[in-house]
Amino acid sequence: MRSLDDLRRTLLRIDRRGYKAYQEIEGRYQGNAYLLMIDQVQGDPFAAPSRVRVLLSQDQAGFPPELYPTTPRRIALQDYLIRRFAEAIHAIVEGSRGSGRSGFIGIDCGGQEVLERTACLVSEQGVEVRFVMGLPAAGRTILAHEAIAMCFENLPRIVDESLRYSRLEPRSLRRHLEVVEDQAALRAQLREQGLVAFLGNGAILPRRSGVDDRPLRGDGPMVIPLQAPSELEVTLHAPHAGAVRGMGLPAGVTLIVGGGFHGKSTLLRALERGVYPHIPGDGREQVVTLSTAVKIRAEDGRSVAGVDISPFINHLPFGKETRNFSTENAGGSTSQAANILEALEAGAELLLVDEDTSATNFMIRDERMQELVAKAQEPITPFLDKVRQLYAEHGVSTILVMGGSGDYFDVADRVIQMEAYRPLDVTDRARAIREKQPLRRLHEGGDRFGPMPARAPLASSFDPSRGRREVKIDAKGLRSLLFGRLMIDLGAVEQLVDDSQTRAIGEAIHYLAMRCFSRELTLREALDTLDRELEDKGLDILAPYPAGDLAMPRRFEIAAAINRMRSLKIAMSNEQ
């Protein structure tokens, strides 16, 4: 194997030559402190920067095995190292060294959530970190001395400061691992406690803004930490924090009511994000939701392919079929119905619904309207008449924000009122009101929930080619995914939190098309297969080369992307 000295010599030799000569440095170089792998060199200084890895053995890195004995702990350690690597880049790399991305060093670092990422892999063998470097040039002329400064001054310092155990701050590292491990432990206790979500006392739920996911600070408006009402207060046990008291939300149907601006949607959003662990200081470190929780909303304009939405929508005008419903342009209620049935198909066990983003006629249909518009004239069966059946027949719970209609008192197991950001258990008061003013509306939901979809997508739905490229898959930010000639709109897929998840979803669709849909597996079977493979072998199975910019998506967001592909065709559809 070549040494780092060989790299230096090659760089000096290609100095001042055309940019293409950089191709010569692709390869592996053994140094004293690490192995450097230049996997792919960019075509020109303006293109996506070159893909590089460093590998340290544990003799070099020195991370004791107790830092990564379990998956959550290993993911937390990897996440910590990525964040330190990014900090070191920020502190050490001074900026542009020429044209385009010259001099740039970057690593795929997360936000408030801790996700498994391909940017860092830790094992007994060692630590591998994947990042990118913009190889420097003036115009398109190689600047070897700048490249040497990057590889022999910047990089060794970055690695030294961030990837060697002895150099890291032990308390902050330990806190990171413990906070993440505690969240996994809290989430794992939900089921045995009969809960679907838990919010620890003291949690900070509001965020700075719609585009800034960090916690709202106390210096501006007052921030009210969460405090469980006594009726809902439970104690869970975390391996590091010990006994954690907080608000437990039981399985069943939970209604969140309260005046406008009293914090209802903020609570629900925290639950949506509670499927992921959060970093220390986030405020939601002890907010955990079942990992099978899915946010449901209306989504005008989306396409739908062969979904049986008959539990909610029937006998459309002009006899349009709803047992095998397809449209290029769904309306508010049809999109919300499709979103629910697709979530159930993918395995959702908890639905999170907010009136702010729901179609009114999907949610409610009151007594007066029933009298004026007969059931035979109304295709929609409101969620109100289905939400209990979902729980009774399928064990699927719902947490629903609904400040606008008391009709839901009749179907709720629990009613929580948000009052000035404080949750109160008002279940008994809601029950008393229900008895005092009984509903005279008719139940329109029938005896049973109805069919659950089980579709098998046609493999030919998934063509990743674009122009001369056989495979062109690319995330365009967080909520758009380019797949071949198709742009998939993920604008309403609210539990997607990281661009690198979006990228991984694109790769996952391709993987499923090649390996699962070609064998006519159902969507659910395919997602089960993928989950198992990802668990066994990690995210690297998704990419054709060692990518450093993938983060673990959930099966629900993978399904959501597939379901929003306008090319999606269903081979067959089995009722369950």
Our finding on whether 260 is near ligand ADP (CB under 6 A) is yes
Our finding on whether 356 is near Mg ion (CB under 5 A) is yes
**Minimum separation from the CB atom of position 453 to Mg ion (A):** 30
When the beta carbons of 256 and 475 are compared against Mg ion, the nearer one is 256
Spatial distance between the Cα atoms of 82 and 121, rounded to a whole number of angstroms: 10
Q: Which of 34, 421, 449, 556 lies at the binding interface for ligand ADP (CB under 6 A)? A: 421
Per partner kind, with CB cut-offs from 5 to 8 A, the member of Mg ion, ligand ADP, none near residue 41 is: none
User: What's the length of the chain?
Assistant: 576
Q: Which of 261, 432, 519, 532 lies at the binding interface for ligand ADP (CB under 6 A)? A: 261
Per partner kind, with CB cut-offs from 5 to 8 A, the member of Mg ion, ligand ADP, none near residue 13 is: none
H-type helices in 274-426, by residue range?
332-346, 360-363, 367-372, 387-394
- Single out the segment in contact with Mg ion by CB under 5 A; choices: 205-213, 228-236, 244-252, 354-362: 354-362
Spatial distance between the Cα atoms of 294 and 228, rounded to a whole number of angstroms: 23
**How is residue 540 annotated by DSSP?**
G
**Minimum separation from the CB atom of position 5 to ligand ADP (A):** 56
- Single out the segment in contact with ligand ADP by CB under 6 A; choices: 50-58, 256-264, 463-471, 561-569: 256-264
Q: Which of 51, 53, 130, 262 lies at the binding interface for ligand ADP (CB under 6 A)? A: 262
When the beta carbons of 64 and 260 are compared against ligand ADP, the nearer one is 260
When the beta carbons of 178 and 285 are compared against ligand ADP, the nearer one is 285
Per partner kind, with CB cut-offs from 5 to 8 A, the member of Mg ion, ligand ADP, none near residue 421 is: ligand ADP
List Cα–Cα distances, 302 to 270, 478, 502, 503, 561, in angstroms.
25, 17, 18, 21, 11
Per partner kind, with CB cut-offs from 5 to 8 A, the member of ligand ADP, Mg ion, none near residue 454 is: none
Bridge partners (DSSP) of residue 195 are 250
Our finding on whether 265 is near Mg ion (CB under 5 A) is yes
Our finding on whether 335 is near Mg ion (CB under 5 A) is no
Q: Which of 103, 136, 258, 548 lies at the binding interface for ligand ADP (CB under 6 A)? A: 258
For residue 53, the SS3 value is strand
Q: Which of 118, 265, 310, 358 lies at the binding interface for ligand ADP (CB under 6 A)? A: 265
**Minimum separation from the CB atom of position 301 to ligand ADP (A):** 24
Spatial distance between the Cα atoms of 144 and 45, rounded to a whole number of angstroms: 13
Q: How many other C-beta atoms can be found within 10 angstroms of the C-beta atom of residue 395?
A: 11
Read off φ and ψ for residue 55, nearest 5 degrees: -125, 125
**How is residue 441 annotated by DSSP?**
P
Spatial distance between the Cα atoms of 361 and 372, rounded to a whole number of angstroms: 14
Our finding on whether 205 is near ligand ADP (CB under 6 A) is yes
- Single out the segment in contact with Mg ion by CB under 5 A; choices: 139-147, 265-273, 307-315, 560-568: 265-273
Q: Are strands 397-401 and 253-257 parallel, antiparallel or unpaired?
A: parallel
When the beta carbons of 162 and 254 are compared against Mg ion, the nearer one is 254
Our finding on whether 224 is near ligand ADP (CB under 6 A) is yes
Per partner kind, with CB cut-offs from 5 to 8 A, the member of Mg ion, ligand ADP, none near residue 95 is: none
H-type helices in 347-395, by residue range?
360-363, 367-372, 387-394
Our finding on whether 201 is near ligand ADP (CB under 6 A) is no
- Single out the segment in contact with ligand ADP by CB under 6 A; choices: 115-123, 216-224, 230-238, 294-302: 216-224
**Minimum separation from the CB atom of position 418 to ligand ADP (A):** 6
When the beta carbons of 195 and 216 are compared against ligand ADP, the nearer one is 216
Our finding on whether 206 is near ligand ADP (CB under 6 A) is yes
Per partner kind, with CB cut-offs from 5 to 8 A, the member of ligand ADP, Mg ion, none near residue 464 is: none
Compute the C-alpha angle 550/281/535, nearest 5°: 30
Per partner kind, with CB cut-offs from 5 to 8 A, the member of Mg ion, ligand ADP, none near residue 205 is: ligand ADP
Q: Which of 49, 98, 263, 331 lies at the binding interface for ligand ADP (CB under 6 A)? A: 263
Q: Quick one: tokens of 322?
A: 């709803």
* Site residue total, ligand ADP (CB under 6 A): 16
Q: Are strands 141-142 and 137-138 parallel, antiparallel or unpaired?
A: antiparallel
Contact (CB, 8 A) for 495 and 557: yes
Per partner kind, with CB cut-offs from 5 to 8 A, the member of Mg ion, ligand ADP, none near residue 368 is: none
Spatial distance between the Cα atoms of 186 and 316, rounded to a whole number of angstroms: 45
Per partner kind, with CB cut-offs from 5 to 8 A, the member of ligand ADP, Mg ion, none near residue 206 is: ligand ADP
Our finding on whether 145 is near ligand ADP (CB under 6 A) is no
Q: Are strands 27-30 and 2-3 parallel, antiparallel or unpaired?
A: parallel
Contact (CB, 8 A) for 431 and 409: yes
Q: Quick one: tokens of 488?
A: 């998939």
Our finding on whether 423 is near ligand ADP (CB under 6 A) is no
Which positions ≥6 away from 362 have C-beta within 8 Å? 298, 312, 332, 333, 336, 337, 380, 382, 383
Contact (CB, 8 A) for 506 and 482: yes
Per partner kind, with CB cut-offs from 5 to 8 A, the member of ligand ADP, Mg ion, none near residue 258 is: ligand ADP
Contact (CB, 8 A) for 274 and 294: no
Amino acid sitting at position 192: E
Candidates 83, 155, 148, 78; CA nearest to 118 is: 78
Q: Contact positions toward Mg ion, by CB under 5 A?
A: 265, 356
Q: Contact positions toward ligand ADP, by CB under 6 A?
A: 205-206, 216, 221, 223-224, 258, 260-266, 418, 421
